[in-house]
């Protein structure tokens, strides 16, 4: 079953049912070294999955009160009975309390812990609408629950709380700058985009070197002046804002009117999918925001989608 969250659509199964979890990996063609996020309804359910000392319980409670339900995932020491398939055999589990009312309703009615990676083939652009799921996985799912377009559009922030030093593993809408003031006695390390590749067990989802990628080659630029003279090429150019090119043409596309990064994040995956499925272009050039605030999450997704390619 595919379900909407506030971030992207997820391919959902009972997190304690190994057979069902294996089907997720098979449908997505997801490598077993990439762990899943387990979704729960509330803090009490989260605590059933993890082993916390008094200090860590205080930290988790503080963050959940501030940011959950919402797009923040916690990596924590796991209970031993959680299937190794869910956690890639690691001693930690990634847990999130999603905000989307439809996902919450399914959890409440099923009384399940739900694992739900993005509902798309592994490594491809994440789905932000039910039509995207149908586009990618038609015929492989019994049910797709249509909850409309995802209001955030990029995956959740992931913070690792399992070590003595807290670490941001994946940037998202909730930023380090928002989290740090709530934990004045604990330093959160700056995000570093580590390029994991091959069968190394990942500490959290969404971290392979190449990920979120369209089939059409994607190249990144910062300013219009960096774009090559590519009149002979059949290319699409994606800008953050309509303000950026004053002379936009028919192959120029815009993620927002004025550069609002929340709008950019909401539109990014949908536009990349549209361009990729149009089969009109040999290349896509996409403007990359500065890695600040929400721009850090958008830049991270684009850099992995472009697989380290910038303007040739």
pLDDT, residue 192, reads 82
Average pLDDT value for residue range 95-110: 97
Residue 227 has pLDDT above 90, yes or no: no
3-state secondary structure of 124: strand
Residues of CATH 3.90.870.10 domain(s) within the chain?
Answer: 2-189
In angstroms, the CA 138 to CA 27 distance is 11
- 134-193 per-position pLDDT tens digit: 999 988 998 999 999 999 999 999 999 999 899 999 999 999 999 999 999 999 998 887
Measured in residues, the chain has a length of 312
pLDDT, residue 246, reads 61
Cβ atoms of 38 and 123 closer than 8 Å:
no
Contacts of 94 (CB under 8 A, 6+ apart): 35, 36, 37, 38, 73, 74, 75, 87, 158, 204, 205
Q: Percentage of residues in the chain with pLDDT exceeding 70?
A: 96
Residue 85 has pLDDT above 90, yes or no: yes
Q: pTM value?
A: 0.95
Averaged pLDDT score across all residues of the chain: 93
- 288-305 per-position pLDDT tens digit: 999 999 999 999 999 999
Average pLDDT value for residue range 108-130: 97
Residue 230 has pLDDT above 60, yes or no: no
Residues of CATH 3.40.50.11030 domain(s) within the chain?
Answer: 218-306
Contacts of 95 (CB under 8 A, 6+ apart): 37, 38, 39, 40, 46, 49, 50, 73, 74, 75, 76
pLDDT, residue 247, reads 66
- Check: CATH 1.10.10.10 for 218-306? no
Give the homologous superfamily in CATH for domain 2-189.
Answer: DHBP synthase (3.90.870.10)
- Reported as a pLDDT band with limits 50, 70 and 90, residue 254 is very high
Rg value, the chain, Cα: 19
């Amino acid at each position: 079953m595919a379900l909407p969250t506030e971030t992207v659509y997820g391919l959902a199964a009972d997190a304690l049912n190994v057979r069902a979890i294996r089907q997720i990996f098979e449908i997505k063609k997801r490598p077993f070294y990439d762990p899943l996020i387990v979704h729960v309804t509330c803090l009490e359910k989260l605590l059933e999955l993890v082993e916390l000392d008094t200090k860590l319980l205080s930290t988790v409670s503080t963050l959940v009160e501030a940011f959950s339900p919402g797009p923040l995932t916690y990596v924590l020491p796991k209970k031993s009975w959680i299937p190794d398939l869910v956690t890639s055999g690691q001693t930690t589990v990634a847990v999130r309390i999603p905000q989307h009312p439809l996902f919450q309703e399914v959890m409440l009615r099923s009384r399940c812990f739900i694992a739900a990676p993005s509902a798309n083939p592994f490594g491809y652009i994440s789905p932000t609408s039910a039509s995207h799921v149908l586009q990618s996985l038609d015929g492989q799912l019994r049910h797709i629950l249509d909850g409309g377009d995802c209001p955030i559009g990029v995956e959740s922030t992931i913070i690792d709380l399992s070590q003595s030093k807290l670490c941001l593993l994946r940037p998202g809408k909730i930023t380090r700058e928002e989290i740090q003031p709530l934990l004045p006695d604990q330093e959160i390390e700056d995000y570093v985009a580590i390029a994991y590749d091959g069968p190394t067990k990942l500490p959290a989802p969404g971290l392979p070197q190449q990920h979120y990628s369209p089939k059409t080659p994607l190249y990144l630029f910062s300013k219009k002046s960096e774009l090559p003279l590519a009149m002979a090429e059949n290319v699409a150019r994606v800008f953050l804002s309509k303000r950026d090119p004053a002379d936009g043409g028919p192959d120029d596309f815009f993620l927002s009117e004025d550069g609002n990064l929340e709008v950019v994040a909401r539109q990014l995956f949908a536009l990349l999918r549209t361009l990729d499925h149009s089969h009109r272009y040999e290349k896509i050039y996409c403007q990359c925001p500065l890695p600040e605030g929400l721009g850090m999450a958008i830049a991270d997704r684009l850099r992995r989608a472009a697989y380290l390619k910038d303007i040739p």
